[in-house]
Amino acid sequence: MKKLFFIILIFGFPTMLVSQEFVWKAGVNSFFDNQEFAGSAVQDDQTLAGVRITPEIGLSWERNHRIFAGFDAMREFGSNNIVDFTTPIAYYNFAGERFRFYMGAFPRKTALEKYPRMFFADSIGYFRPVLNGFFWEYFQNDNYINVWLDWTSRQTADVRETFFMGWSGRYNWNIFYAQHFGYMFHFAHRADNPRGNLHDSGLMLTSLGIDFAQKTNFEKLEANIGWSVGLERNRGGENRWHTPHGFLSELKIEYRGFGIFNTFYAGGAQQIFYGEYGNSLYWGDRFYRTRRYNRTDLYYSFFRTNVVNLKFVYSLHFAERNMYHQQILLASFNL
């Protein structure tokens, strides 16, 4: 038996090495986000700026399977630290003809880039770039359906257990489409406080839209209207469901790098328990705490290739009977 094992090892190991391929990725992503929200009761007047580097190395085999390991290192502009924080990256990826699968710690934009800002604010992409869990998606052309899990905090004596469970999908009929986004955020108690308040915070959005981009010379030319519903409960308190809901519309127009992205919301104020738990419980844009909100992004992509992207965005926010301004400059280099 031992001889057979060594024969298999001697002749099989070189074959395994030949079938594998060394792969790598490298990225530098920088952002400058000036948020002129002075006077707002729901947002902070601040400037967020920094740069992230994301090197990854891995192995690929049988064309569909890959494993990667690396890190995402972040430095904020003006910081006295060389690196402000580092997030490990390590995951398995299967890429098939009809579905893809990720498991481990992998870039958040891989799974959640299409989610509206009602679910995840811009700053989540800046400061929480790695998703810890799994992502599975079935797709065919532009149609897709997926489910995912992001474990955001492990329970300890002074830290809550928290995680997201989410799902989304889209189906196209010629120029028409239907899409859905949803998640449930589980916000548990600490280990030293088993009777502490446990929260469930869910959000869903279903939209119908029309997309003319493929029929024209525009990169983007689409509009959709939808209805959002929040599902929020404090199990340790009043223990009843709150269901803030409202109308949400989007308009996307882009031609030769110039673009407009407009979002309008009218309905119930989201993020019911923000005053008690703040950003620990809610990761969405805080302007949705108001009952009426419009955001207009005017942008231009100065340079856009498979490797380099440089984009400037000027945003106008209409909320709380005021108009607020925001300027964003994004630069990325990815190999």
Distances 276 to 74, 201, 279, 291 between C-alpha atoms, Å? 29, 13, 10, 19
pLDDT at 15: 47
Alpha helices for the chain (secondary structure H): 2-19, 109-112, 122-127, 274-277
Q: Contact, 228 vs 203, CB < 8 A?
A: yes
16, pLDDT greater than 50: no
pLDDT at 7: 44
Q: Which residues pair with 85 in a beta bridge?
A: 74
Summarize pLDDT for 102-139 with one digit per residue, the tens: 999 999 999 999 999 999 999 999 999 999 999 999 99
Q: Tell me which amino acid residue 129 is.
A: P
Domain coordinates of the chain in residue numbers?
A: 2-334
Separation CA 96–CA 76 (nearest Å): 37
pLDDT band (50, 70, 90) for residue 5 = very low
Summarize pLDDT for 218-243 with one digit per residue, the tens: 999 999 999 999 999 998 778 889 99
Q: Is 114 strand, coil or helix?
A: coil
Summarize pLDDT for 271-292 with one digit per residue, the tens: 999 998 999 999 999 999 999 9
253: Cα separation from own chain's centroid: 22
50, pLDDT greater than 70: yes
Kindly state the average pLDDT of the residues 288-298.
98
pLDDT at 196: 66
Q: Contact, 195 vs 237, CB < 8 A?
A: no
Residues listed for the chain: 335
Cβ atoms within 10 Å of 10's Cβ, excluding its own: 9
Separation CA 185–CA 283 (nearest Å): 10
CATH of domain 2-334: 2.40.160
Cβ atoms within 10 Å of 28's Cβ, excluding its own: 15
pLDDT band (50, 70, 90) for residue 195 = low
Q: Please, what is the average pLDDT of the chain?
A: 92
